[in-house]
Structure 1
Amino acid sequence: MAKPVIWITRTLSGATLERARRDYDVIWDAADRPASAEDIVTMSAQVDGIIPCHSEHFTAEVVAQLDPRLKIVANHSVGVDHCDLPALKAKGIVVTNTPGVLSDATAELAMMLMLGAARHVVAGDRIVRSGEWDFWSPAFLVGKQVTGARLGIVGMGGVGRALARKARGFDMEIHYHNRHRLSFEDEAGAVYHETLDDLLAISDFLSLHCPASPETMGLMNADRLARLPEGSVIVNTARGNLIDERALLAAIETQHLGAAGLDCFGTEPGGNPAFAMHENIVMMPHVGSATLRTRDAMGFKALDNLDAFFRGDVPPDRL
């Protein structure tokens, strides 16, 4: 019996590619470039399943042109804002994602960005690396202390709860806003705020972990940024469109915000070049889940979903 043909759009972990080649006929291009809409439509006539990343966009227009051969889109991501889910469902294409395996890695990066933004890591690294370090004073690069500060978390899913666990190691006071209040056990002492505005008002540090949706686009606009305490630090490892970048830049320039730590941007790849002028904005190129362990786990979850589908079962992470 012929193996199903799958297209892997980007370079996944070595272990993932090895397993995929064992069980499937794999199409994969080592050039590792984002697939265009034309690529997706063309390849849909040649494969039974696709493992895309968030860089491949399944818009309604693209989905309308997909070949009937394509039966499953097994995303190598938790977020699926790059997929028009109603259009894919109407087309009869199964969609899956990879939840539950990248929470710790992404929370680690959020913690790194928080600490780096609070303690002037960009300026400090530049000064030492460039050989400009010829001065010291008690007033030199004085930052904001994380220990004992109030951390506001927007979105207490897997990543938000993982960050809360790590932040407790810094004796931070955990506050959160979520669509639904967590159970007593999952809260683990965190303070629930029914409204986002209430959370903002008390957050020395604010970390975003909610999904991207029409309701959350531009969530942190000028008005909401102004509600944060003066000198607060905002961190975003979720999706770039959660923040109005012009408003963020204005809040940094007026010094209402003390700093920001960003792993995602409105334009990706590339980011926002205006942010580069500010050393109190720490930036990473959307690599929150980029650890060897997590990349293997994400790839294997995508393959688990494909395996279940092609043997006639419901994929465990079907959306």
Structure 2
Amino acid sequence: MKERPARPSVIVTRRLPAAVEARMADLFDASFNKEDKPLTRAELSDAMSACDVFVPTVTDTIYAGLIRGAGERLRLIANFGAGTDHLDLAAARQKGIVVTNTPGVLTEDTADLVMALILAVPRRLAEGEKVLRAGQWAGWAPTGLEGHSVTGKKLGILGMGRIGRAVAKRARACGLKIHYHNRERLPANVERRLGAKYWPDLDAMLAAIDVLTINAPYSRETHHMIDARRLKLMKSDAYLINAARGSIVDQEALIGALQTGTIAGAGLDVFPDEPNVDPRLLRLSNVVLLPHMGSATFEGRVGMGNKVIANIRAWVDGHRPPDQVLEGWA
């Protein structure tokens, strides 16, 4: 096994919080992207060939070719973010590159944003804000900007991991009834604590709920899991919330469902081709659109950075990093 450098060369693809960059600069031979512009594929390739530790973000797509083309020097990819669907993990495994991520840090922040969308979409909060800013508000009226109450409604949670459970806790406090679909059923005591009903059949759950929130990780299995067929199973006055990954939902089918009234509305924090947003979504009044800001808190981003640092330090010391993504590597 090659000896690990005491002060490794670390290249970070985007600007991180100042406190995190300062600590990295103190501990490692760190280089930062001062312009904070996404790196091109050629720039990613050059960076991966010039460091011991590479720190990408969830917006950097690290293809198998980039990993295979990286020099022998690259030993650790310390991802700034919990998701790893932008990394070719199989290629990293074949090349013996350790991959880490930053799980757990963003659970509460992301759940807060999901809950905000669950409230904002049925209550038409974004529409009201736009009317006010445009100078079109003529004063209170009995039928002005009527939305739907969420109290007593059925919330369906697709993916009951850390974030899904945190959403359930918040939603229950707001008077929603909790339903969920997951690969594995939660223990009975957790279900009781959350007041959650398990649906082994996703299709059956979709037909029964009033709001669907997607909190599942993205994978080949979840790609377009919510498609045209499943959107048609939902009630016409139901809402869809997605703060997980854009490609879990078939965007073309979703736009059609929103345009035709198949469902009542949607709240989206993620998109399949970020930062591009389909112009048809921008023209819809029954959609709340956010620029992938589920994790955008000062505390969360610093916490992510600290996890990256902890993973690098553990690797330098010859230990298994605490957030290593793939098992069985030294």
- TM bracket (short chain): over 0.9
2: distance between equivalents of 1:26 and 1:190?
46
Query: What does residue 54 of structure 1 align with?
Result: 58
User: 8 Å contact 1:148–1:171 — kept in the other structure?
Assistant: yes
Query: What does residue 185 of structure 2 align with?
Result: 181
Query: What does residue 229 of structure 2 align with?
Result: 223
Query: What does residue 47 of structure 2 align with?
Result: 43
2: distance between equivalents of 1:241 and 1:2?
40
1:23 and 2:27 matched = yes
Q: Partner of 2:148: helix, strand, or coil?
A: coil
Q: 1:97-119: per-residue Cα shift (whole Å, max 9, x none)?
A: 11111011011111111211111
Letter in 1 for 2:34: A
Q: 1:148-184: per-residue Cα shift (whole Å, max 9, x none)?
A: 1110000011111111111111011101000001112
Letter in 1 for 2:78: A
User: 8 Å contact 1:35–1:55 — kept in the other structure?
Assistant: no
Report the RMSD for the aligned CA atoms in angstroms: 1.2
Query: What does residue 158 of structure 2 align with?
Result: 154
1: distance between equivalents of 2:48 and 2:89?
17
Q: Partner of 2:179: helix, strand, or coil?
A: strand
1:140 and 2:144 matched = yes
1: distance between equivalents of 2:6 and 2:119?
52
User: 8 Å contact 1:36–1:56 — kept in the other structure?
Assistant: no
1:103 and 2:116 matched = no
Unaligned runs of 5+ in 2: 326-330
2: distance between equivalents of 1:184 and 1:50?
42
Query: What does residue 7 of structure 1 align with?
Result: 11
Q: Partner of 2:264: helix, strand, or coil?
A: strand
Question: 1:2 deviation in Å?
Answer: 5.7
User: 8 Å contact 2:58–2:80 — kept in the other structure?
Assistant: yes
Letter in 2 for 1:17: E
Query: What does residue 238 of structure 2 align with?
Result: 232
1:269 maps to which of 266, 271, 275: 275
Q: 1:287-315: per-residue Cα shift (whole Å, max 9, x none)?
A: 10111111111111111111111110000
Q: Partner of 1:105: helix, strand, or coil?
A: helix
1:278 maps to which of 280, 284, 291: 284
Question: 1:135 deviation in Å?
Answer: 4.8
Q: 1:62-119: per-residue Cα shift (whole Å, max 9, x none)?
A: 1121111010011111110000101111011000111111011011111111211111
1:76 maps to which of 77, 80, 86: 80
2: distance between equivalents of 1:241 and 1:79?
13
Query: What does residue 316 of structure 1 align with?
Result: 322
Q: 1:253-292: per-residue Cα shift (whole Å, max 9, x none)?
A: 1112111000000110122211011111001111101111
TM-score by length of 1: 0.97
Query: What does residue 249 of structure 2 align with?
Result: 243
Question: 1:186 deviation in Å?
Answer: 2.7
2: distance between equivalents of 1:9 and 1:314?
24
Question: 1:137 deviation in Å?
Answer: 2.7
Unaligned runs of 5+ in 1: none
Question: 1:50 deviation in Å?
Answer: 1.2
Question: 1:59 deviation in Å?
Answer: 1.0
2: distance between equivalents of 1:273 and 1:158?
33
User: 8 Å contact 2:6–2:316 — kept in the other structure?
Assistant: no
User: 8 Å contact 1:122–1:280 — kept in the other structure?
Assistant: no
Sequence identity (%): 39
List structure 1 segments (4+ residues) > 6 angstroms apart after TM superposition: none
Letter in 2 for 1:222: A
Q: Partner of 1:261: helix, strand, or coil?
A: strand
2: distance between equivalents of 1:65 and 1:45?
8
How many correspondences in the alignment? 319
